[in-house]
Amino acid sequence: MLLNCPLPLATTDRVLLGHGSGGKLSAELMRDIFLPALSNPILARLDDQAQLEIGGLRLAFTTDSFVVKPLFFPGGDIGSLAVHGTINDLAMAGARPLYLSAAYVIEEGFPLADLRRIADSMGRAAQQAGVSIVTGDTKVVERGAADGLFLNTTGIGLIPASVTISAAAARPGDVILLSGSLGDHGIAIMAAREGLQFDTVLTSDSAALHTLVEAMLAAAPAIRCLRDPTRGGLSSTLNEIAAQSATGMRILETEIPIRDEVRGACEMLGLDPLYVANEGKLVAIVAPEDADAVLAAMRTHPLGRNAARIGAVTQENAGRVVLQTAYGTTRIVDMLAGDQLPRIC
């Protein structure tokens, strides 16, 4: 036999951190455990939110848990992040977010002053976004059973009748738009966690994107796909759309906006900004005839000032994302297996 390497470790009998990374391992959990156990056609669409029809109304319904460390970071905290994250999952269906719930899991000994700060921040973020947090839950667990505080938010919103957005709707020839620079949130968190210092303070991009989406839909109601590239970054988002739409994605390295500070930090840490998380950015796939209007609408909104046309949907390479480098060469942009691991040198 030609190949006799160490035994493959494909099957693990335990949950690894990588199962929560939003990459291939997360997709495996979904495919092998949750989908078979919970099977129904609404869940099977695997969008960022469920889309429900009740009494003639189209509702978007979503939930998200937040375990960010540190709890407070430049540009936000776990409270505002939990509001923005769930609003954005609703907004990615073109929905107008209406109501949120908040569930706190708090570790025994957690400072009340910090809890108050987080709750205040949550209230402010909801108010600014025009949503109400109308129900909630609090659980306290023993010291050591949670890392300070975990937070879950669930949200519902109304989808306008004219809008049908799905990650399965991309077609060859469509244009890929990105609302701004990549990696700001993930690198701000990592810098805060690792005590990295830069000339300027890196700030998370955490923001509620529903008014940006509203402006985009006003410019072109037939937007095909919307996704916010959170965990797993732009790469995971485009790979998911490519898989669900059975199309290829071709993006241009030179057109993808990335801040110098983020590029610098990624260089130092050996990370690829295409895989770093964002909390205030969206990817839109639009028909070529709508691209200019949507891009113009994005650029007039404060959260889309640096929006860019970063590539196109292709017939070839179905299910794959291909990047054209600054040198005219190409490479695959794959979904990560698990988390990006900092490299040795």
The footprint of another protein (CB under 8 A) covers 1-10, 12, 14-18, 24-25, 28, 194, 260, 263-264, 267, 269-270, 316-317, 320, 322, 325-332, 334, 336-338, 341-345
Minimum separation from the CB atom of position 206 to another protein (A): 25
Strand 330-332 with 96-107, pairing: unpaired
Closer CB to another protein, 109 or 319, in the complex:
319
Residues 123-162 as b/e (b if ≥16 CB within 10 A, e otherwise) read bebbeebebebeeeeeeeeeeeebebbbbbbbbbbbbeee
Closer CB to another protein, 194 or 255, in the complex:
194
Q: How far apart are CA 103 and CA 183, in angstroms?
A: 28
Closer CB to another protein, 221 or 270, in the complex:
270
Minimum separation from the CB atom of position 69 to another protein (A): 14
Would you list the DSSP string of 86-133?
Answer: HHHHHHTTT-EEEEEEEEEEEETT--HHHHHHHHHHHHHHHHHHT-EE
Closer CB to another protein, 222 or 318, in the complex:
318
Alpha helix locations (H) across 253-345?
260-269, 288-300
Q: How far apart are CA 268 and CA 249, in angstroms?
A: 29
Minimum separation from the CB atom of position 299 to another protein (A): 25
Minimum separation from the CB atom of position 151 to another protein (A): 24
Closer CB to another protein, 25 or 297, in the complex:
25
Closer CB to another protein, 4 or 39, in the complex:
4
Minimum separation from the CB atom of position 257 to another protein (A): 14
Is 180 within 8 Å of 306 (Cβ atoms)? yes
Which DSSP symbol is given to 60? E
Closer CB to another protein, 113 or 345, in the complex:
345
Minimum separation from the CB atom of position 270 to another protein (A): 6
> Strand pairing partners for 141?
107
Q: How far apart are CA 182 and CA 64, in angstroms?
A: 21
Q: How far apart are CA 298 and CA 177, in angstroms?
A: 9
Minimum separation from the CB atom of position 75 to another protein (A): 22
